[in-house]
Structures are given as structure tokens and as C-alpha cells.
Amino acid sequence: MVCKFQYPGRGKLIALCLLFVLFGFWRNSLAQKQKEKASEKVHQAEQKIRSSKSQLEKIEGEIEEVDTQAKGLEKKETNLIRQIHDYERKIDDSERMLRSLNNEIEEITSEINYINHQLESLALKLELKKAILYRRLRGIYKQGRLHKFSVLLGSYSFTDLLQRYKYFTLIAAQDKRLVHEVSQLQHTYSEYKLASERKLAQRVERRALLEAEQRKLELAEGERQKLLRSVKSRKEEVLQILAQRRAEAERIREMIAEWERLRREAVEQARREGRVLPPESAYLEGKKGKLAWPVAEGKMIRGFGTYIDEITKTRVINNGIDIQARAGDNVLSVSQGAVRFVDWYRSYGKTVMVDHGAGMYSIYSHLGEVFVELGDFVNTGQAIASVGSTGSLEGPMLHFELRDGMKAVDPLLWLSR
């Protein structure tokens, strides 16, 4: 009598093994994609950090250059006004440095948060994989070394033997992949851990730079305030500032005259050549008495025209209006136009000029941070800078002018009530 060994639930066993193998393939593929995505995000973040660092180095170079110039000037000139302007430059450089450092710290912090999130995810995956691996190892240990051979020897046919061997091979391959995956997860976790430590150290370094720059800024502002108090008590110094302002107002007039001359020449040349230029946009046309104010909140402390200076008791011409406002508040463009000038004037401080077409220009001075560049097109109400105190003897304020060609016009006739 021939005894046949009947293997119970053989079809179910085959199906379960195949599902287990297919699930393993899918899970490995998904894990690989997630790892590639995470690596790409880290790479992009590191590129941002490098870009930030390059910008920071540029600002540091500019600061060093200004410091060198200031030291040379101190030997040649003891003029208080010049020293105030030098301190304003230093303060501006320090503020730009602080903004750059703050941006870099934010980027580093964002990257640290991302890395920590990845570490948490990896830790969970690693724990799960290790648990699966330990269960497999315990199962193999309990079954003993000869388990495979006993199952193979229990085959009731050669075909069954081949199938059982095939399933054992697939399970062994899956076990091998599991071990490899655990090893890879451990390696990736270590890499992220090191990256997190590097970024934390980088953030500590940047914070130290930030604090040092903040101290420099406070010292420079303190010195500037002392010099301002000294200047305000000296009539001759204030007279010098007023004379300087008149000269700079004349330079602004000459600059606009040159722009207008070039515009007229272009029109005349086109006429001679028989070309028709497109009509020039006149963004202020029809807006007299309707323009929005260049600051949302503030107090007008000085109007257009002549006034008597309190310190020197002399008659002074004001080509615009002066609005006392909070430092850092937005300065808004009163209408559409192209930015034609972004630079410093000693008594005007940081200045932006916008060309509104048809010979009309708006001028914004004593600015803090400037948000636009030469050649930019700005819209009505767009923030072009912040209120500052550069070139001002009276604290944070905005000096605002409107020019019709070379002629200064009263801004109050154009601004809304």
C-alpha cells in the first residue's frame, strides 16, 4: 500500500506567499520613491542656504568697504554732518545684514523642521521593519535548521517539490530584502541625524552673528543720536545742512531736466525720421486732488513753500511736504510709473523717484528699507520702501515731492482730502 502525504490548504498557502512577495515589491518601490523625494527636498533647501550665504558675504564685503571709507574720512574731516551720514550708512548696512541673517535663520529652521519630520518618519519605519525582521528570525529559530528540508521531503510529487522549493526561494529573497531595507533605513536615519546636527550648529553660528550685528547697530544708532543732538544745538551746522539740501534739490531739478531733454530729443528725432512714437502714458492725468497719500498714517509737520527754521531763524523753501510717521511703515507709490532713481542724498537720505509719464515725477525721501530697484514698474498703492530717518534731523518721517517737469508743485493740490 502506497501512503500519500496530503498537504492541507496548499492553494491558500500559494496565494498568501504570492501576495506577501508582491506587497514587498510594492512597499520597497514606495519607500525608494519617498527617499528620493526627501533627498531632493534637502538638496533644494541646501541650495537656498548657499544662495543666502553668498548674499550675506556680499553684504559683509560692502560693510567692510563702508567702514574703510569711514575711517579714512575721520582722519580728513571732523565735520559732524558727514559723520552722521557715515553712521546712517553703517546703520543701513547693519539692518540689511540683520534681514539677511534672519532670512537665513528662518530657512535653516525650516530645513531643521523638515529633517526632524523625516527622522520621525524614518524612526517609525525602522521600528516596524525591525519588528518584522525579529519576528522572522524568531520563527526561523523555532522551526530549526531542518524545517525547510522536512517540508521539501514531505512533498507528495516532484511537481509539488518544485513548487515548495520555489516558495522557499521567494520567501528567502523577501527576507534578504527585508534585512537590506533595515540596513538602508538605519543608514538613512544616521545621515539625517548628522544633517540635523550640522544645521543646528549652523543656526547657532548665525544667531551669534545676528546678536553681534545687533550690538553694532545699537552702538551706531547711539552715536548717531549723540551727533544729532550736537548738530541741533549748533546754528552753523544746521545752516550747512540747509545749504546742502538746496544744492541737492537743484541736482534733482537738473536730473529731471536731463531726462526731459532726452525725451524731447527722442520725439524730435522720430518726427524727423517720419516715425510715429506710441503715445506716452500719463498716469497722473485726471487725478488732481484724487491721489492716495504716500503713507497710510502720519502727521504732516511741514507743508509746501517757505517756512522759518526754528534753529537758524532763516527762511527756507520746502519743495514738498514732510510727514511724520512710524519707522517701518510702508511708503506707497501715489500712482503707476517707472522707478527712475534709487540712491542716497546726504540731506534727503535714501531716495526713490518715480516717473509717472508726461513729465510728472514723485519723490520719496528719508526712507528706511527700499523694496524696488531702478527700472521697476510700480502700481498705484504699491509699497516701494519703508519710513526711515536717513538724512533727517527730526526722526522717522517721509519727505514727499511732486514735480511737473523741473517745477516743484504743491502735493496737497494733488493728494485727496
Give the pLDDT confidence of 87-107 residue by residue, as tens digits: 788 888 878 888 888 888 888
Contact 112, 200 (CB under 8 A): yes
For the stretch 231-282, pLDDT in tens is: 666 666 666 777 777 878 888 888 888 888 888 888 788 788 877 666 678 8
3-class secondary-structure state, position 348: coil
* pLDDT at res. 70: 47
Q: Which CATH superfamily is domain 245-413 in?
A: Glucose Permease (Domain IIA) (2.70.70.10)
Kindly state the percentage of the chain with pLDDT values over 70: 65
* pLDDT at res. 375: 92
Q: What is the chain's mean pLDDT, rounded?
A: 76
Amino acid found at 250: E
For the stretch 277-317, pLDDT in tens is: 666 788 998 899 999 999 999 999 999 998 887 766 778 88
Q: Where are the domains of the chain?
A: 10-232, 245-413
CA distance 319 to 401: 6
CA distance 53 to 31: 33
For the stretch 316-353, pLDDT in tens is: 889 999 999 999 999 999 999 999 999 988 788 999 99
* pLDDT at res. 3: 44
Distances (CA, A) of 152 to 10, 100, 182, 272: 13, 70, 29, 102
Q: 103: alpha, beta or left, given left = phi > 0 and alpha = psi -120 to 50?
A: alpha
